[in-house]
Amino acid sequence: MKIQAKSPEEQEKLMTWDDTFRFKCYRGIDCFNSCCRDVTIFLDSLDVIRLRKTLKISSTDFLETYTHRVLSQKSGMPAVILKMNQDETKQCPFVTDAGCAVYESRPYSCRLYPLDTEQGVEYSFIVTEDTCHGLKEARELTVEEWRRDQGLRDYDDIDHNLKDVMHADQLWEEKIDNPRMQDMILMALYDVDRFREFVFKSTFLEKFKIDDDIIEKIRNDDVSMLYFASQWLRFSLFGEKGFLKIDRDFLEKKKIEVLSKGKQE
């Protein structure tokens, strides 16, 4: 969650998992809810899966209603950010007088607040105690205790799995500027329902030989589908085969179709 630019002093204050800080947020604190407005919240793939489940809507509808799509200027990688209300309050659509209406599914950035991290190793504050009065409270805890308390460990495996894909700009010299490719990446990373439809309703399962137990797992389980999507992106972007193996019979069939089409023309 980027609430405002970090001051140079704050940027320098880097903490690791064992370092302690003071913080407590609760209903009744005088700044309650003030941080849930006019913020840029990048959503993780797991955030979209959880939020759409809580809201009981498809990932496609969630993305359409609650997010903006953005592209990294450097790499061309797509990402999604949570739309704030388009009125003068610029509030998050999920904030209520009682707090966050989607608390159990709140995004990664909201869990990590008032901290931020680039790679999950070093952490820094993104606000000062002038803005976030919870930083003046007496409760002291380590960064790791905060991570555990906020359920951030749930993200570790997935983030590790997707790291190569999300940081493609560090592996590639060329920018992704093909809109179709950007849309495919967006679908695989964030739109689990559309990606599932692509896998089960196209020739995907004819093209790739996939074990039956994997097919059963991804049929209904969103997190398994996300891992599967990361494998598919690795295959498509970097040529890594993993468990995705192209069916040779399918390739032969396609070759014959293309040749006979060419002859007819």
Least Å distance, CB 148 to ligand SF4, is 18
Nearest partner of 224 among 246, 203, 187, 196, judged by Cα: 196
Which residues contact ligand SF4 (rule: CB under 6 A)?
Answer: 25, 29, 31-36, 92, 94-95, 100, 102, 106-107, 110, 113-114, 132-134
- CB of 118 vs ligand SF4, minimal distance in Å: 20
Nearer to ligand SF4, 35 or 165 (CB): 35
C-beta of residue 127 within 8 angstroms of C-beta of residue 35: yes
Toward ligand SF4, which CB reaches closer, 135 or 166?
Answer: 135
From residue 60, alpha-carbon distances to 66, 195, 229, 244 in Å are 10, 10, 16, 25
Which CB, 105 or 230, lies closer to ligand SF4?
105
Smallest distance from ligand SF4 to CB 184, Å: 28
CA distances to 39, 50, 78, 105, 252 from 101, in Å: 17, 13, 27, 9, 53
Report in angstroms how near the CB of residue 130 gets to ligand SF4 at its nearest.
10
Q: Are 97 and 103 in contact (CB under 8 A)?
A: no
Length of the chain in terms of residues written: 265
Amino acid code (one letter) for 230 = S
Q: Which residue is nearest to ligand SF4 (CB)?
A: 134
Q: Please, what is the minimum distance in Å from the beta carbon of residue 253 to ligand SF4? A: 48
CB neighbours of residue 217 within 10 Å: 15
**Residue 38 or 197 with smaller CB distance to ligand SF4:** 38
Q: Nearer to ligand SF4 by C-beta: 93 or 120?
A: 93
Closer to ligand SF4 by CB, 78 or 114: give it. Answer: 114
Query: In b/e form, how buried is each residue of 45-58, taking b as 16+ CB within 10 angstroms?
Result: bbbbbbbbeebebb
Closest CB 113 distance from ligand SF4, rounded Å? 6
